[in-house]
Amino acid sequence: MRIAMLSLHTSPMQQPGSGDAGGMNVYIQNLSFALGALGHEVHMITRTAEDSESLQVAEGVWMHQVQIAAHQQLSKEELPGIIDPAVSAISAHLRGLAFDIIHAHYWLSGLVGLELSREFDAPLILSMHTSAAAKEFESGLPEPGPRKEAERQLLSQAARIIANTPVEARQLARFYQVEHHKLDVVLPGVNHRIFHPEQDKLCRPLGPDDLHLVYAGRLQPLKGAHVMLEAMGIARRQHPELRVTASLFGALSGSADYDLRQLVRRENLTDLVRFFDPLKPSQLATVFANADVVAVPSLSETFGLVAAEAQACGTPVLANAVGGLSYAVSDGYSGWLMPEPDPQLWAQKLVELAQNPQLVTQAGHAALEHSGEFTWERAAVASLASYRMAHSALAS
C-alpha cells in the first residue's frame, strides 16, 4: 500500500515535549517506520513556513515538509484558517503520486485529509488522538465550538476511525455518536529497542532520596505537572522526614502564565525539584530507567505513551485514571491510578511509596511485563487491517 500520513500542525520528526509536539508525534513516526519495515510505502506530510523539502527518513518512509502560509509563524489555533491553501499546496507537492489510504491525525489534519481523500480517490482514515468533547469532560477546560463541530463532521464522513484504546472508542461513540462498525482499536506501541531496563546508571542530581519522580512532557495545565508539585509540597509538610524529589523534562507550551518554577518556590521545594529541557528518546529511556516512579498527572490523556515507555524501562507509573491511562497502566500492578487529580490523594500515595520501597520494586517488575502488550509492529498490522477494510469498501 501507498499511505499518506497527515500531521498538519506539528512534524512527526519534531522533538517531543517542545511546542505542540508530544505523544502524537511519537505515534505517527513509529507507526510509519513499522509500516515501512513491513514493505509498505509511507509518506508523512506536515506544514512548514520555510521552503518545501522531501527526504527519505527510513526504509519505505518519506518526510514531506510542505510550504503553507510562507514565512508565517502560526499557532495551532490559527491553522483552521489555512485549510484550503494547505490542500492546494499538498496536492501540488504530491502530484504524480497515487495513494491507497489517507490517514489523518488530529482534527486539523482531518479537515485537510477529507479534501485530499476526494482528490486522490482514497479513503480517509481518522485518528483523533484527542477530541474536544472528551477533553472537556475529563479536564473541565472549555474547547472551541468550531472544533467540536468540525470533529463531528469528520467523524461522520471518514471511512474508518482508529481509536488508541477501547476507552477512546467508547468516548467517540458516546460524545459523537460514532457507529461502532466504523471504529477500530489500535493500541500504540513502544520502541523496545530504545526503551528497556538495561540502561546506563545515571547519577541523580539531587542527592540521596526516599523516592525520585520523573515527569516528561509539555509544561501546560492539561498535562498536570502542578498536581504532582502541589502533592510534593503537601507530603513535605506532613512528613518532613521523607525526601521525595522530582526531575521534570519538557518545555513550556501554550499559556505563558503557567509558572511551575514559581509554584516550586511557593511550595518550598527548590532543593527537591529540577527542570530540564526535553530529551531525545535514547536519553529519556536512561532517565526513566533510573527513576523510582514516572509521574503522568495529566487531566486528560487519550493513551499516554510516556506511561508505556516508562514501564518498558521497568519503572512503575503514577497517573490519573483518565482516558487511555486507565488502559496503559494496570492499576495496583504496573503502577497506580489516582481516581481524580487531587494533590491530597497524590501526596498520600507519594508518602506510601516513599515509606514502602518494596512496593515500587514489585511494581517495576510488573511494569516491564505489562509493557510487552505494546509494540509498533502489532500496531502496524492492526492499522493495515483497518486500511484494507476501508479500501475494500471503496472498491465495492
Is the per-residue pLDDT at 30 higher than 90? Answer: yes
Do strands 61-67 and 101-105 pair parallel, antiparallel, or not at all (unpaired)?
A: unpaired
Q: Once rounded to an integer, what is the mean pLDDT over residues 290-298?
A: 96
Amino acid at 164: N
The four Cα atoms 319, 226, 211, 278 give a dihedral, to 10 degrees, of: 90
Contacts of 155 (CB under 8 A, 6+ apart): 126, 128, 161, 172, 176, 178
Name the 3-class secondary structure at 356: coil
User: Which pLDDT belongs to residue 205?
Assistant: 64
pLDDT-derived band at 16 (thresholds 50, 70, 90) equals: low
Q: Once rounded to an integer, what is the mean pLDDT over residues 62-84?
A: 84
Instruction: Give this prediction's pTM.
Output: 0.84
Share of the chain above pLDDT 90, in %: 73
Q: Once rounded to an integer, what is the mean pLDDT over residues 161-177?
A: 93
pLDDT-derived band at 93 (thresholds 50, 70, 90) equals: very high
- Are 24 and 131 in contact by the 8 Å Cβ rule? The answer is no
| Domains of the chain as residue ranges with CATH | 2-189+375-395 (3.40.50.2000), 211-371 (3.40.50.2000)
Contacts of 243 (CB under 8 A, 6+ apart): 208, 209, 210, 211, 272, 354
pLDDT-derived band at 39 (thresholds 50, 70, 90) equals: very high
- In this structure, of 136-145, 243-252, 283-292, the range with the lowest mean pLDDT score is 136-145
Question: Three cell numbers at 3?
Answer: 499511505
- Are 315 and 335 in contact by the 8 Å Cβ rule? The answer is no
The CA-atom distances, in angstroms, between 283 and each of 55, 62, 200, 277, 368 are: 25, 25, 10, 11, 18
The four Cα atoms 205, 207, 209, 213 give a dihedral, to 10 degrees, of: 0
Tell the residue number behind the cell numbers 489516582, with chain if given: 338
Instruction: Count Cβ atoms within 10 A of the Cβ of residue 167 and give its class: 0-12 exposed, 13-18 middle, 19 or more buried.
Output: buried
